[in-house]
Structure 1
Amino acid sequence: MARNVRRRDVLSGIGAAGLASTAGCIGGLGGGGGGGPDMLTVVGYPEDGIQLFRDFYSSYSDDVNILIPDGLRDGDLPGQVGNDMSNITGTAPAAGGPNQEAFQSLYEDEYGESPGVFTTQSYDSVAVGILANAAAGENDGTAIRDQMRNVANPGGMEVGVENFVEGVEAAANGEDVNFQGSSSSVNFDQNGDPASAAYAIWEFTEGGTETAEVQQFEGSNPDGNGPSADEIPGGMGREIMVGILLPETGALASTGADMINAAQLPAIQVNNADIDLEVTTQLEDTETNSQSGVAAANSLVNAGFPYICGSASSGVNVPVSQEVLIPNQVVGCSPSSTALSVTNLEDDDYIFRTAPSDRLQGRVMAQVASERLEAESAATLYVNNDYGQQLSNRFSSVFEDEFDGSVFRQVAFNQGESSYSSVVSEAMSAE
């Protein structure tokens, strides 16, 4: 049986380098002292997480281990919930690219603060879109699509944050470039997903969150290349158009603000440089809502934008892709939509992302649950959409099949409820 040990007491004073050796030595909780699961996995968004975690702590001890993914990484949550949430371990796609430090310096110089979650992926999404547009030589979605792997995958001049403008000029001059991102190397597999990714294991701290460890993982199809154009036409003296479709309001507003800042940086770099190219961007708010997201995407398409950075959540990204981007032959590149359903879209190769699929994150979470938290049994609470259901299913199957764990139950919850006490109780009850 997993031991009753508070995670923060164990982690205190251990640096990131030393954390790897503690895996498997940090006790989880027999969360249901009356026979309930050892731990709880929660998949959702901060807006609903506030009430959900309030209801959890009103009925259960804060010694119960809880595991959450990137969707709930919001440093304001503990203050809003009224608990330090020190029993929570998180996982999230991390900044593991060769240019992460250069990106951080650029972001801090421009905005005077440190970048938040999914900011590296947002920068990379816009940067690769600008490069592909420069290589295509026209504001045409199909032409840009066919240059995505030409500018991102190996071969040609290496381009990063510090020499980004030089790389845009090179692509516009018909030269082969290889974008090296801040989130990853940004090599797209045959599905348009990252071929590799870094994941952070993190925790809440006073006033924010803190990464305890970062690990590199391979994606689902690391050797898949996908289609690309045989030539790079390029062209100077023109406008490059990039739409930004991210949440200013709604459940992901707190995350979206930093993502929007990061997404605007590549355009700022080009427009501040003395080159014969200009980048035009237009921001539209998804409101973290599928209907609003579709309307916002249509606004960008009707304005002539052939490439869109977005959207953020899979519950918005899937309908936006199916109803707007794919039919209009517009390239979409999400920096944070991670659901498996995005990989499986019949998209004619118009849909990419710089965030890795939840197929990978589900495995990372199962490994953390088993080896770091020493849980032998779990239950999941998940938001009732593609993101929540698919990540819950993936975590559960890997936890059981690869780590010999038991998942008592998977419990869905709806957004916007006034109370989550009943679903918390259902998840934490005995098998």
Structure 2
Amino acid sequence: MLLPSSGDLAFLGPPEFAGVELAVKEINENGGVNGSQATSIRADSGDGTPNIAPSETDKLLSGGADVVIGAASSSVSLSVIDKITQAGVAQISPANTSTAFDTYADSGLYFRTAPSDVLQGQVMASTLIEDGKQSVAILARQDSYGEALAENVRSFYEEAGGSVVSYQLYSPEAANYNAEVQAIAAEDPDAIILISFDETKKIVPALIQAGLGQGE
């Protein structure tokens, strides 16, 4: 298991670890794998800052892992996918959505149980159009997840006749997001698309303080 027990996605770790442990339990209750009991090893994927996933992956591979479950973050998975698949080991993510994986040269060893951002972006765009939102601002984290989803939302939304009046990519490590929020406020969009992780806790209060969002 290469899943987050630290970093911005640490809140996802407990249920993801539990899901893998449940799968192992059910496999073993049904005879194991080729007559042997399945076992699991835990490793922390982190969130890429600092980039601990490669060394944690080495721990899993040296421990004899046949399958690596993870990572949760698309950018973290991209930092280790070559290391895993080139070792002849399968990788399965429960959360990666980046379009970077759609045609990745993985020797047929990478899998994910979450849909690509192509689908996610299309659904988000169609929801906005159906809700009558003619102009939107996009505020997304600058990484493989945020950029891919933001691009797909923009593409499908504009194809449907909507207008993206502000397109902002931000650093997840920024001390504040005042500049991005003010740029959005100046355009007065019908809706704001926020693609973020834990930094949402800083961004949403800033949006509200700028007079944006619900409650008007």
- TM-score, structure 2 length as denominator? 0.80
After the TM superposition, which residues 3-402 of structure 1 pair with which residues of structure 2 at under 5 Å, given as runs? 244-272=1-29, 276-289=35-48, 291-322=51-82, 324-371=83-130, 373-401=131-159
Q: CA deviation at 1:416?
A: 2.3
| Residues 366 and 399 in structure 1, CA contact (< 8 A), matched pair in contact too | yes
Structure 1 counterpart SS, 2:46? coil
**Which one of 396, 402, 405 corresponds to residue 162 of structure 2?**
405
In the alignment, the residues of structure 2 paired with residue 270 and residue 347 of structure 1 have an alpha-carbon distance, to the nearest angstrom, of 26
Contact 2:2–2:70, Cα closer than 8 Å, also in 1: yes
Alpha-carbon distance, 1:274 to partner: 6.2
Higher strand share: 1
Higher relative contact order (CA 8 A, sep 6+): 1
What is the percentage of aligned positions where both structures have the same residue?
28
CA contact (8 A) 2:9 2:47 kept: yes
Which residue identity lines up with residue 286 of structure 1 in the other structure? S
Contact 2:122/2:152 (CA < 8 Å) preserved in 1? yes
SS of aligned partner of 1:315: helix
Contact 2:24–2:39 (Cα < 8 Å) also in 1: yes
Contact 1:270 1:277 in 2 (8 A): no
Q: Secondary structure at the match of 1:279?
A: coil
Deviation at 1:360, TM superposition (A): 0.4
What are the Cα deviations for residues 48-80 of structure 1, in whole angstroms up to 9, with x where unaligned?
xxxxxxxxxxxxxxxxxxxxxxxxxxxxxxxxx
Q: Give the TM-score normalised by structure 1.
A: 0.41
Aligned equivalents of 1:297 and 1:424: distance in 2?
A: 38
Higher helix share: 2
| Structure 1: tracts of 5 or more residues without a match | 1-243
Is this contact kept in 2: 1:247–1:286, CA < 8 A? yes
Q: Tell me, what secondary structure is at the counterpart of 2:38? A: strand
| 1:273 CA displacement | 5.3
The range that moved more, 303-312 or 282-291, is 282-291
Question: C-alpha offsets along residues 72-131 of structure 1, whole Å, 9 cap, x if unaligned?
Answer: xxxxxxxxxxxxxxxxxxxxxxxxxxxxxxxxxxxxxxxxxxxxxxxxxxxxxxxxxxxx
How far is 1:272 from its partner?
Answer: 4.4
1:427 shift after superposition: 2.7
Looking at CA atoms only, which structure, 1 or 2, has the larger radius of gyration? 1
Report whether the alignment pairs 1:423 with 2:180: yes
- How far apart are the structure 2 equivalents of 1:344 and 1:336? 17
Residues 143-192 of structure 1 show CA distances to partners (whole Å, capped at 9, x for unaligned) of xxxxxxxxxxxxxxxxxxxxxxxxxxxxxxxxxxxxxxxxxxxxxxxxxx
1:330-388 deviations in Å (ceiling 9; x for gaps): 111111010000112111211111111111000010011111x3100111111110110
Distance 1:274 1:307, change over 3 A: closer
Provide the rounded CA distance (Å) in 1 between the counterparts of 2:111 and 2:28.
25
The count of corresponding residues between Structure 1 and Structure 2 is 185
| SS of the residue 1:281 aligns to | coil
**Counterpart secondary structure, 2:68:** strand
Structure 1 residue 311 displacement after superposition: 0.7
Change (3 A) 1:299 1:399: same
Over the aligned positions, Cα root-mean-square deviation in angstroms equals 1.6
CA distance in 2, matches of 1:330, 1:270: 19
d(CA) in 2 for partners of 1:277, 1:369: 51
Q: Which amino acid aligns with 2:147?
A: Q
